[in-house]
Structure 1
């Protein structure tokens, strides 16, 4: 590896991209539709790539696939791991690829980036990726320069010349591994990584979210974000100037670590204090060494500074809430902070102070922390933790009603019954849904059944009354009675089930809408009047009017439940109306992430309606995604699409074995 100097187009790209990092997208009048924030990486490029792929930011080849998304890295890409340059190279590449695709990558400084830029290499564990073919020769030359420098400094300070034994050389080589010299050059002001990192900022604000490594302490809240960024930038520039001054004057030699520089500065300061009348050059050296000795108080090194502060994770709830109020007074009443730096004990992203703070360092480095890769997703007002194969929602996104036509296409108008037992004046699902969205809630009472505690509401508009079932359950389970590491129990799945049934031509899920009832957002679904549950039918031993159609209806229930992975179908959520139509309700525990079908379909699924079969096998993935996107998470849609493939393969196998006439029927 030769000395890496930034050339060509990259410096221009750095200038352009630095503008975005400094001001944030909100300052340019545009807030991205989707933000992915990643915590401390510490040299583990493989764990980083795995979570970026999970978050749909990169593809299998580790190139940008995030479209117009914004990716934020909150620092600490370096140290403790084995592949520091690979991490930096990946971010440098993604930065350019994202910009070309209309997206953005914001890489922020952590304390470990500043430590590396200033020669504090205590946590570097692997120099070998930087080693050039002549690394051994360069390391030997560096050692010779070091011994010559020690002799020169002893002479300058009037001390005896030092001697160096073979043991001294061995110790120096152990402290300066193969690749050390090249690494120092790569992080120099004109080095490949040093030049790039010096264009990074400590803090970025995107909309109401402030991203940084450690946190803004209340003591620092008198400063604006721009001022804090400038202080960190000035610290790095100050260090570079000090180092150059002391290198040029012989006080330093290349390849010194920070502690060695501080020691050399102390010796030089003591020597200069013995001189009564300093020359201008000596005065400059004195100012330089004094400044370096004071670096622990610089903003970039201070415990209350944005790179080192740990208060967000350490504050108690009461005092922490008071501190957050102080910060919001300074930076905006709706602001939220996203930080890394402190590894969470359970290796999961944490939220604190009513979602004012998100702590996203989950110990991604497999070698050092044995944690797990994670990212924070911010989209449509919602916030969720993204892990490999699981998610956890902190703030539900603002759900928008889909603009596509999702009402089932039925051959004949349906008859819906009102609360007074008379037919409603609606001939289409769309009319029913508009009424449920806009009608006034007259009364509400508990149904008394179901673990999700649904309510029966009476809606009225322009003298028309309708009953509806209102659900507002929205939970995330981690294990427990639902056999998933992360599983949602959510009213929004009623909308997803209805929308999916519509494009498949399945006509037995009642219309449902999103609306507020008594201040709570949930779903309202038309109540099926003059009906009984399947449990009631069995108890009363009521025989179906048409046994063949009855069996076909149950086949469609079986097919649909396998498709949506509904593990809560029971005799209480199958409704049978007065004409013996079968209705499916209660899908709050459907749409799991599993790629397999719900149970062995060969035991129960023998037939499917011909039109539904044709749509099931011919609909493209994009059409399904478009309908379900307002209601489901990415991993839930992906699971459904995989199940769709398996369900199609299973039904096709039945057709191949038994023939179309035996498997397909028409209503």
Structure 2
């Protein structure tokens, strides 16, 4: 099994972003997927005097509004995210446990494909026709990588932010786990950032990472998000658990707190501290590991690892399979179904001991068991 090389596309993206930064947003206008892609927002910041400052870019113009930062403050849409936003006074930390009989629905690697995300969630009645939570007391898990690549990152983040509040009120839960692209974007790596957001940051006079700083509503929320999540007998994370990092799962609360505390820390500072660098290492860390799919671990090795963790299975994204499928005798469930390509996607359903996948047309089918990983051209 092997993974396709990403070096050439990465180099092209990096070159494009350097041009954008050097000559301004106008040079990148032609790279937007549609004319409407230039619209962006809102970015909402907590300002002095207990106020919320919201800013959009609509038709190339800066639009601002200010609201009192009281609990449940509503921000009406101008452009970008199409629904009113309800902003709580504070973000509730912690992840709700799985109630007896509740189902789990999971997906990963949305990568700014907001329209496709909405289609998939509507098709399986996770959300209704107004994009509101419709799954009752069930749980939705997004296993990382909402950021980068596509033009709908802001919209996808706000949708999940709102669904989390709505699910909590209904007795369910939305869990958004941090992936490597969240950590990259917030420590200043622009390799995969859509040029639209380079232009937005330039227009707002901030770095891209600062659009999600601690003073922003989304930035504050992201700093409450975990990397590791156990629901019932299933462990969820973005990349995977390497054999040398079993202790990070044993101390899950401390590991999640470590990510939350360091999210947005400059990359150079992250690399300089061995204790922190371990969380972000591009080969073995929980947000990067690919060892279940590239031959580092065979099936007996995976079975032994899962047994040591005391779970029935591990669900991961990160490695693009192009479909939701099981590997290593069902001990690994891969859920990066290629949503980033903008054409299709799938959901994982866990209903007790029964696992299935949901397709874009709303149908369901059993999980296939795969042995090999298809090459990913991106």
**TM-score when scaled to structure 2?**
0.69
Cα shift readout 1:154-189 (whole Å, capped 9, x = no counterpart): xxxxxxxxxxxxxxxxxxxxxx74456274433112
Q: In structure 1, the residue corresponding to 2:235 is in which secondary structure?
A: strand
Q: Find out whether 1:230 has 2:307 as its counterpart.
A: no
Q: Find out whether 1:106 has 2:175 as its counterpart.
A: yes
In structure 2, what is the equivalent of residue 440 of structure 1?
Answer: none
Pairing partner for 2:328 from 327, 350, 353 = 353
Asked if structure 2 preserves the Cα contact closer than 8 Å seen for 1:42 and 1:80, the reply is yes
Q: Find out whether 1:335 has 2:312 as its counterpart.
A: yes
Q: Find out whether 1:39 has 2:114 as its counterpart.
A: no
Alignment of 1:470-619 (within 5 A): none
The change in CA–CA distance for 1:104 and 1:207 in structure 2 (over 3 A counts) is same
Q: Find out whether 1:14 has 2:91 as its counterpart.
A: yes
The CA RMSD over aligned residues, in Å, is 2.7
In structure 1, what is the equivalent of residue 243 of structure 2?
Answer: 218
Pairing partner for 1:97 from 145, 160, 166 = 166
Structure holding more helix per residue: 1
1:328 CA displacement: 2.7
Q: Find out whether 1:181 has 2:206 as its counterpart.
A: yes
Structure 2's unaligned 5+ residue stretches are 1-41, 47-51, 53-68, 72-86, 369-378
The change in CA–CA distance for 1:31 and 1:215 in structure 2 (over 3 A counts) is farther
Alignment of 1:280-291 (within 5 A): none
Distance 1:233 1:341 in 2: 21
The change in CA–CA distance for 1:99 and 1:8 in structure 2 (over 3 A counts) is same
**TM-score when scaled to structure 1?**
0.40
Distance 2:294 2:43 in 1: 44
The change in CA–CA distance for 1:184 and 1:321 in structure 2 (over 3 A counts) is closer
1:19 CA displacement: 1.9
Q: In structure 2, the residue corresponding to 1:67 is in which secondary structure?
A: coil
Asked if structure 2 preserves the Cα contact closer than 8 Å seen for 1:50 and 1:388, the reply is yes
Cα shift readout 1:505-561 (whole Å, capped 9, x = no counterpart): xxxxxxxxxxxxxxxxxxxxxxxxxxxxxxxxxxxxxxxxxxxxxxxxxxxxxxxxx
The change in CA–CA distance for 1:185 and 1:328 in structure 2 (over 3 A counts) is closer
Distance 1:323 1:350 in 2: 19
1:379 CA displacement: 1.3
Q: In structure 1, the residue corresponding to 2:339 is in which secondary structure?
A: coil
| Count of matched residue positions in the alignment of Structure 1 and Structure 2 | 289
Asked if structure 1 preserves the Cα contact closer than 8 Å seen for 2:326 and 2:334, the reply is yes
Pairing partner for 1:384 from 348, 356, 362 = 356
Pairing partner for 1:374 from 346, 357, 367 = 346
Asked if structure 1 preserves the Cα contact closer than 8 Å seen for 2:249 and 2:255, the reply is no
Q: Find out whether 1:203 has 2:228 as its counterpart.
A: yes
Q: In structure 1, the residue corresponding to 2:188 is in which secondary structure?
A: coil
Distance 1:200 1:231 in 2: 12
Q: In structure 1, the residue corresponding to 2:298 is in which secondary structure?
A: helix
Distance 2:43 2:327 in 1: 47
Distance 1:81 1:115 in 2: 15
Cα shift readout 1:201-254 (whole Å, capped 9, x = no counterpart): 0011110111110111111113335x24533532552466x66xxxxxxxxxxx
Q: In structure 2, the residue corresponding to 1:224 is in which secondary structure?
A: helix
In structure 2, what is the equivalent of residue 394 of structure 1?
Answer: 367
Structure 1's unaligned 5+ residue stretches are 132-175, 244-257, 263-288, 396-667
Indicate the structure whose relative CO is greater, using CA pairs within 8 Å and at least 6 residues apart: 2
The change in CA–CA distance for 1:206 and 1:36 in structure 2 (over 3 A counts) is same
Cα shift readout 1:432-462 (whole Å, capped 9, x = no counterpart): xxxxxxxxxxxxxxxxxxxxxxxxxxxxxxx
Distance 1:104 1:125 in 2: 29
